[in-house]
Each structure stands twice: as C-alpha cells, then as structure tokens.
Structure 1
C-alpha cells in the first residue's frame, strides 16, 4: 500500500499488508518440534490478523463520528535519523475498553509538522490510516526533514486535535557534533508509585530519551492503582489480572499511558525504546517461560506482548513483529560523536543456568555455547564496532553487564539472569570491542532498580586489570517504590565489587552528556514516589574521559 500522505514521498507508515508474515511465522513455528498443529494454527493468527488488501471505507465520515477526545494516550516520537523521525499516536476515546472505544472501523488521521509549537506555518502534512487490527495506532515515518533540527507535530481525527509534541532529528552523519544529552530510564511499575521521575525528564534539557526496558509490568493492578493512594480513580477489574492475551497487553499500555507524566515525557522528547522481560513475562529467556507452561503456549503470549509493544511505541515498520518474533536490536548515530547499538537481551538468550537462582560460576553457566544475544545479534554488534568511526560507542541494553558479586566470599553467588550468568558471551563481546579498537565504550543499563556506576574490567577478579568500558545503571522510574539511598547491602556490594564506584537505591534517571573530551554522568533522584510532586536532586556525578576509560567523581 502506498503512503497516503498528501506529501507521500515524505511519509511512510507501517500499515501496508505483509504477505510474507504468514510464511515467516510458519517457518518460525516449524523449527520448534514441540508445537502442536493446533497451537501453530493459533499462533499464525497473529500473522494473518492484518488489514485486508484493498480494504475500502469512508474514513472521513467515520472520523466525524468520534464524539470524545481520541488522543487520551498522548503522542510520541522516536528513533531520530538525520532526515526523518517516527511519529506515533493511538486513538482511544475510551482507553479502558478493549477496543479503546473505536470499534472495528478504519479511520484516517491527519498529521502536521511545523517549526513552531503554535503551527503558524505548517511545514509538512499528510494522512495515515488507523486500523482496528493495530489497535488504531498510527506510525508515521516523516522523511525529508533537516538534520539537527527541532520540530513540533500533532495529529487530527475528525474535529479532535492532539496535544503537540516536540521532536528533533539527528545531526548529519558526517557532522563533528560537539555535544549530546541523553536521559536514560527504565522499570516503571505503575502500581509502585507515581511517575514523578518522568515529569522531571520532560522538563530536562535533553536531546533524546533512552527507555531501557520494563516499560510496563505484567502483574495485576488493583482498583486503587496499588501505591497510588492519592489518585482519585477507581480502576476497572480488567487490570486486576496478569496480562496474557493481546487484549490484556493493549489495555495495560492504555493504563500506563493514562499517566500524565509519562505522556509529558513522550511529548517533550524523542524516545528510543528497547524491551526487557516484563513487557512479556518476568525473566523469560528466548522461548522459555518463567513458569511451567508449554512452550507453544508461551510463544502465543510472546506474540501478543510483542505486537502490543509495537502498537504502543514510536517504532518503525522494521520492528513490526512477525508472530512471536521481532527485530528490535538496531543502530543509530549522532553525527560522528556517538554510535548507539541498542541490544535485545531477552529474545535470543539461552535459558538461565541453575534454574535462575543466584549461583557461583560453574560449568553450567560458563558453557561456551551459552549466549545472551544470539549469534546473529552478537555478530551484528561486533561488525558494527569494526565499522564505527564514532568518538563514543554507546551500548544501551537491559541487564547488568559488569560482574556483581552478592557477597565477599571466594565462591560468591552471581545473578544468573544478568551477563554474569553468560560469562562466555560477555567475554566474546569484550574481545570484540578490543579487536575493533573501541576506546570510548559506554554501556547504559536498566533492570536492577538501583543506580550503579561501574568500571568494566578486562578481568573482574583482578582489580588491577585494564578498564575497558564504563557502565551506568539508571535505577527505576517507579519499580521498588520509594527506595533508600543506601540499601542494606550497600557496603557489602562495594567491598565485594571494587569496580563498583557508586550504588544508590532511590528512584530516578541518569543524564548522560557526551562531548568530544568526556562523558559526564549525573545520577538524578527523587526523595519519594509514594506521593506526587517530589523535587529532583543530583545524587552523584561522574566523568569518564575520552581515551582514558574509568570513572572519576565530577
């Protein structure tokens, strides 16, 4: 299907039928001998539930029937390139209903891009189709933009106009850009408290936001919204169950995006997103579920989760799932200042060793065949480093890369869910960075609900070994409730892990400022999320100098 925008050469959106999806899903499922014919047929439904080719409707008339604001879930932009950016919205006048209050009809949505927030002079405009098959989400890939430029955008459906969003394009590929500011966030369990952190992210002067996973949680949310005691809202029973079906996941995104602070952050900055486990299920590994359910059944759940994720995030057509598979790892650039290699450490990993219990390294966890990334993604990463000309090579990913001993004994237990449970895989990545001559390697991590600053060592058991990279974990937006500055194991962790230079248990985010000389890292935290409106402070600041890896207090 050709783009429908009035400037069709400047807009591509991901709503054309994909004739190859059925075959691709069949091949994927055929590789798994454990799938029954019935389960395979059910899984293929995810590939066939697409807008029909040549579907004809009267979209303008249907848009006119929308009698309530359909933009309740806000707007977003993502994955900025030098000449394009992805714009997103989703129509949901009744966001807590399974169909969002939109029914099954197709609706034409108009979009506009301007240099100013008032849209006094619209630069580009076009139209995109919002299909029920995609939960009436809209993904517009606006092309022909000027590199390194701030834009404003908005949508219209019938008489309704969305809030305005602000976005920006990346600098030209060859530009010797002098600076970049990134906010890194992760882990935002709705039921654990307010998104105060995201309000501060919205107000911060950053160029882009990296969301490193656990955008939502699959766990039940009660009618009070868990810890959100000051919210005068009674939630329907549809949220008081674990997400399992496509309808469940879609509704959970509607709940999360009902939060005004999350919507504000999306409207203020372009996001680049990647998932961890809770967008699907806690600690799943590839096709292996957390609990004892048939793998075929889990793949159906994974297909539902992946599809709802794409529908509700500012992602391009390249990330559209085919059944239970989706290519989420991808590479972006910020001039010659930074190359970003976004990883997916869930979809392709080997099952966790030792039943996913904390365990000392052993033959099971150190099997050289084990992988965190899968062979194809690992080779993609190493090849990308070989071709990199960037000053900084930034690797946003999900789980702790550095060694993290849980006590100071000789046989200390490690996390089998993090890279410590995949040491051969980590060693291959470190060796690949060395072989490529990567000097300024920065790893951005989520998952752990605390802030860490870590020197990545060539040999973690030898504190005197070379430092090859810097890793920062960005704590959580809400998961873990208020937290404390110094958790009970604070001193133990610092003693057991001398490469760990900072450890803080409050909620917050990390602001990363890159220039040609150094990376400046600010751990931004709030005093509480159990009540709304807490101020933000900087708990600690570090710098790692270009050409001299290793953290220093700023």
Structure 2
C-alpha cells in the first residue's frame, strides 16, 4: 500500500494509548512549530562528526562557574563486554531548559572506575570533554577491565561529583559462565504513572537490564504530570505538546531521566537498550509516519529523535547516528552461556498492512516481500545464530513474535503492527533458527503493556506441532496506568491461543535466570503506578529446560 493510501488506526491493545483531545491540540501546535524550524533542525540533526576541542569558536566553560549540580539526569552504564563498559552522563544543572542550563561552551569532566564503592581501589580514570553540540552528554568506553567483574564509577566537574554507579563486565567470550540473571522492561509513559517498577528493579539482584523500547513517549505531558497528579510542583508548559524538534526530544529525555526511580535503576545496573516507536512517533514504519507526513519531513523528525536517543542513552560510538539512520541492532555475549541479539524492528520495516488496523491475515500481510527487520538485519541475525556457540540464544526485540489472535474463530483478527502482520518475515527467522541448529531460543518482547509467556510453535494453528522456543513479554513500567491481573479479554486470548501460557495486565518487569540446565522467568508486578510506593510481588514463574523447548509453571 502506498503512503497516500494509508491511514493509521489507533487501537487500545497496543502502545498507541493516549488522550485524543490533548494529542490533537498538541499536533496542531507542534506541527506548525516544527515547520518553522526545519532548517535549524536539519543543521543539528544531520551533523554527526564529533567536534574538535575549541572548534568553531566554542570555548571552554570554567566548571567552577557551574552554580548548581550538573548531574541532575543521573548516570548510567550499558552494553557490557568482557573487558569493557560504557559509562554515560549528561550535564544539565537546569534540566528543563534548552541546553540544560549550560552555555554553548565545552566542559571538562573527569571520570573514575574502581573495584570498590569507596574508590579506595582505583582501576581506571581519565578526563574528557562534554561538547555542547551533543547537549553536554558523555559516552565513555572504558577498556582494559577484568571480565566478569563488578565495578563502581563516578564523574566529577569543578566542585561537583556525581552519585556512584555500579556496573559490571561480561564473562570472557569462551568462558563457561555458569549463570546469568537479567531483567526486561518496556513502555514507561511518564504521564501514565510513577516509575515504581524501576525502584524495585534497582533493589533486585540482576546482572543486566534489557530495555525493550518506548523509553519515552512523544505525547503531551500536562503541568500536573498526567496521572501523577502533582500537587507540590508544576511542569513547564512546553512539555504539554507533542515532541517534534531536536530540542523537544532532548527536553523530553530530561523529563524522564530526572525521575528518581529511573535514575536509581540506571545507577545500579548496566542497561542494554533498544527502541520501539514512541522514541520517535507512534507506529511509524521506516520512513513512513503515522499521519502520512512527506517522507523528507518525517526523516528530519526521525533524525532529531535518533540523535537525542543516542545522546541520552548508554550507547557506544558504533551506535552514533548518521542523519536519519542509526545502526542500533547489535550482538552481545555472556560467555558461552548466552548470546543476545538486540533487534530494531522499526527503522527497516515495511509499512503495516491493511492500514494498520486489526485484521485477519491475508494476501497483503502475507506478501513474502514484506519484512519487519529489513534484509540486512535478517541476514545478520540468522548468520549470527549459525556462528553462535552459546547455550541460550536470546533475541531482544520489541513487538509480539508469537501468533496472538485477538478473538475466537478461524478468521480472527490480529495486530498488523506485530510479527502477525509480517508472517513471511517470521517464517524466515524461524526457519533460519532451525537451520542454524538453535535449540534454546528465548525471545524477549515489550510493547503491549501486559505480561505474556508463549510457547513458540512450528505451526501456531496446530497445538500439536513442535515447540521451537519460548517468548517472554515484559509488561509496561507505567504505560496503561495501573492495569488489572485479568483484563476483560483474558479468557478470550487464552482460548484463542493455546500456546499462550500466561497473561497478566498489571505493571512490572520480567526477571530471567539462565544457567546450564534451565531458564526461569519470574513475572514481577506492582498493584498500582498512579500512586507511588506500591509493593511488588511475583505473579507467576515459569521454567524451560535446555534442549527441551516449552515452558512449565513453577
């Protein structure tokens, strides 16, 4: 279908929930604003070379003149490797102002890594520059570390010292690592509630966190913080519109990263991040926007979103965007125990079939030419499985991989935004896994604001067909507000999808523990996010055995 013939439908069971009136008003204002700043956005979004020190007349800012704490957005680490960690921070003494309250000058920042929390056993240190061109963000790739070790880190500029972060390296690639525990989170709409889930995650004992997308939302956030209903503070009016420009995206990251619970999770654990749609725009597909904007206009917006994403996430230089393109898919190893293939299912996908409405599969959605990953990423994934020496192959990605009928009957409708709308693409991936001899496939998913556990079937319409792997879907951190254990469609979904073994509609995260025999998933949920401080419980636990695909309750 051509872009001109396409009209998006926003449905309640995907990540497109929002307030229609606020969105319409915000889009009217935001689009007008966006068109007036196209030239400026282009100049920023398409400039990718790291500026040289003092280039273009930019001078050094005396850090002693920074009047308040510049580490208001916290610190983070990411993408652990056997001898290396990536450390991140962004200087913003006034986070809700363009530029973070700093002038267009570079700032010298010191960093430290130690074996102990008191920094009495220093390991690595250095000095770097926070450039205004990158919104004073820092991405420090620290090499020469020991594999499979916990480290502590911090930053300093002038008289200001950041909080202390805890991170770790991965085991040596060929080592027979005995165990790994990771958590998966997704979908954290600030305006839908507090990030209580992240507070509990910060207190959990995990080695790494997978963030599976929708780290932020482009929708308007009113002065009361939406469902947070602030009474002791008021957010600036510029948050109350849809994000469009580079400054908009940067400020929206500042809003999210100033949340103390999210800051705590980042400081405690290394993150492996990927995006879904809302980091840019709801349900976009490649260069096709939700509302059929001219591609050249939408790509400007995409470039701004991608640049702000890199600036504000613990990502390595290999992920630095080039204009409207960014190589986000990548591979990480945890010794010979696990291989993580981190996918990008937004940037390269074909347009959603049937105008992105709920629809039964048909000739349009089943066209073999359609792809969710793009040809290059699909080949990279399958080739990587062929070369994998890992016991567990974990595919970290965004939208439901397993078939998910939304109603009963032979012609049941499905989501055209998920893999059900790209069944030929899914078939190629599963056939590739089989050809590569992948026996222990674990798919990690976000997007739908509920927790699921699926058996991945050879033929989803035949319950007796072979089970090829397991899919664990992490519910949202806040999106969808509080949720309930059994949504209204709970019974229908379980009857329509015999391979669906668990369904819970509350907020939370999934924790997965891998060892040489089993993978165990614990679905952790909170009772509410519209009020802070809710306790966390384990809603259900499942286990799958190595060499014996299929999940069983614990």
Give me the TM-score of the superposition, normalised by structure 1.
0.91
Is 1:226 aligned to residue 226 of structure 2? Answer: yes
Aligned-partner Cα distance in 2 for 1:370–1:51: 36
Aligned-partner Cα distance in 2 for 1:251–1:86: 23
- Cα deviation for residue 119 of structure 1 reads 1.1
Report the 3-state secondary structure (helix = DSSP H, G, I; strand = E; otherwise coil) of the residue aligned with 2:109.
strand
- What's the counterpart of residue 502 of structure 2? 502
- Cα deviation for residue 232 of structure 1 reads 2.1
Structure 1 segments of 4 or more deviating over 3 A? 38-45, 49-54, 56-61
- What's the counterpart of residue 346 of structure 2? 346
Aligned-partner Cα distance in 2 for 1:488–1:452: 15
- What's the counterpart of residue 236 of structure 1? 236
Aligned-partner Cα distance in 1 for 2:307–2:376: 22
- What's the counterpart of residue 513 of structure 2? 513
Are the structure 2 counterparts of residues 396 and 49 from structure 1 closer, same or farther at C-alpha, using a change threshold of 3 Å? closer
- 2:48–2:321 Cα contact (<8 Å) kept: no
Aligned-partner Cα distance in 1 for 2:374–2:104: 38
Q: Could you list the per-position Cα deviations for residues 146-168 of structure 1 after superposition, in whole angstroms to 9, with x for gaps in the alignment?
A: 00000000000111000000000
- What's the counterpart of residue 80 of structure 2? 80
- Cα deviation for residue 103 of structure 1 reads 1.3
Q: Could you list the per-position Cα deviations for residues 438-477 of structure 1 after superposition, in whole angstroms to 9, with x for gaps in the alignment?
A: 0000000000000000000000011100000100100000
Q: CA RMSD in A?
A: 1.5
Are the structure 2 counterparts of residues 453 and 117 from structure 1 closer, same or farther at C-alpha, using a change threshold of 3 Å? same
Report the 3-state secondary structure (helix = DSSP H, G, I; strand = E; otherwise coil) of the residue aligned with 1:283.
coil
- 1:43–1:300 Cα contact (<8 Å) kept: yes
- What's the counterpart of residue 184 of structure 1? 184
Aligned-partner Cα distance in 2 for 1:175–1:59: 47
Aligned-partner Cα distance in 2 for 1:436–1:66: 55
Aligned-partner Cα distance in 2 for 1:510–1:553: 14
Are the structure 2 counterparts of residues 195 and 51 from structure 1 closer, same or farther at C-alpha, using a change threshold of 3 Å? same
Aligned-partner Cα distance in 1 for 2:481–2:234: 20
- 1:213–1:274 Cα contact (<8 Å) kept: yes
Are the structure 2 counterparts of residues 463 and 75 from structure 1 closer, same or farther at C-alpha, using a change threshold of 3 Å? same
Aligned-partner Cα distance in 1 for 2:41–2:504: 45
- 1:44–1:323 Cα contact (<8 Å) kept: no
Q: Could you list the per-position Cα deviations for residues 223-260 of structure 1 after superposition, in whole angstroms to 9, with x for gaps in the alignment?
A: 00001125622000110000000000000000001110
- Cα deviation for residue 95 of structure 1 reads 0.1
- What's the counterpart of residue 131 of structure 1? 131
Report the 3-state secondary structure (helix = DSSP H, G, I; strand = E; otherwise coil) of the residue aligned with 2:176.
coil
- 1:172–1:335 Cα contact (<8 Å) kept: yes
- What's the counterpart of residue 301 of structure 1? 301
- Cα deviation for residue 124 of structure 1 reads 1.2
Report the 3-state secondary structure (helix = DSSP H, G, I; strand = E; otherwise coil) of the residue aligned with 2:313.
coil
- 1:62–1:106 Cα contact (<8 Å) kept: no
- What's the counterpart of residue 356 of structure 2? 356
- What's the counterpart of residue 46 of structure 2? 47
- 1:195–1:477 Cα contact (<8 Å) kept: yes
Aligned-partner Cα distance in 1 for 2:238–2:41: 23
Which stretch shifts more, 118-127 or 249-258? 118-127
- Cα deviation for residue 45 of structure 1 reads 4.8
- What's the counterpart of residue 403 of structure 1? 403
- Cα deviation for residue 530 of structure 1 reads 1.1
Which stretch shifts more, 46-55 or 76-85? 46-55
The aligned runs of 1:10-89 (5 Å cut-off) are 43=42, 45-48=44-47, 50-53=49-52, 55=54, 62-89=62-89
Aligned-partner Cα distance in 1 for 2:38–2:423: 35
- 2:337–2:390 Cα contact (<8 Å) kept: yes
Give me the TM-score of the superposition, normalised by structure 2.
0.91
Q: Could you list the per-position Cα deviations for residues 522-541 of structure 1 after superposition, in whole angstroms to 9, with x for gaps in the alignment?
A: 00000111111111100000
Are the structure 2 counterparts of residues 175 and 362 from structure 1 closer, same or farther at C-alpha, using a change threshold of 3 Å? same
Structure 1 portions without partners, runs of 5+:
1-37
Aligned-partner Cα distance in 1 for 2:200–2:61: 40
- What's the counterpart of residue 275 of structure 2? 275
- 1:353–1:365 Cα contact (<8 Å) kept: yes
- Cα deviation for residue 59 of structure 1 reads 7.2
Q: Could you list the per-position Cα deviations for residues 368-395 of structure 1 after superposition, in whole angstroms to 9, with x for gaps in the alignment?
A: 0000000000000000000001000000
Aligned-partner Cα distance in 1 for 2:220–2:58: 39
The aligned runs of 1:242-391 (5 Å cut-off) are 242-391=242-391
Structure 2 portions without partners, runs of 5+:
1-36
Q: Could you list the per-position Cα deviations for residues 268-318 of structure 1 after superposition, in whole angstroms to 9, with x for gaps in the alignment?
A: 000000000000000000000000311111000000000000000000000
- 1:230–1:531 Cα contact (<8 Å) kept: no
- 2:289–2:295 Cα contact (<8 Å) kept: yes
Report the 3-state secondary structure (helix = DSSP H, G, I; strand = E; otherwise coil) of the residue aligned with 2:228.
coil
- 2:288–2:351 Cα contact (<8 Å) kept: yes
Are the structure 2 counterparts of residues 256 and 54 from structure 1 closer, same or farther at C-alpha, using a change threshold of 3 Å? closer
- Cα deviation for residue 52 of structure 1 reads 3.8
- 1:450–1:507 Cα contact (<8 Å) kept: yes
Report the 3-state secondary structure (helix = DSSP H, G, I; strand = E; otherwise coil) of the residue aligned with 1:250.
helix
Aligned-partner Cα distance in 2 for 1:420–1:49: 36
Q: Could you list the per-position Cα deviations for residues 509-532 of structure 1 after superposition, in whole angstroms to 9, with x for gaps in the alignment?
A: 000000000100000000111111
- 1:49–1:133 Cα contact (<8 Å) kept: no
Is 1:150 aligned to residue 150 of structure 2? Answer: yes
Aligned-partner Cα distance in 2 for 1:212–1:48: 27
- 2:41–2:304 Cα contact (<8 Å) kept: no
- Cα deviation for residue 410 of structure 1 reads 1.0
- What's the counterpart of residue 215 of structure 1? 215
Aligned-partner Cα distance in 2 for 1:344–1:505: 25
Aligned-partner Cα distance in 1 for 2:506–2:131: 41
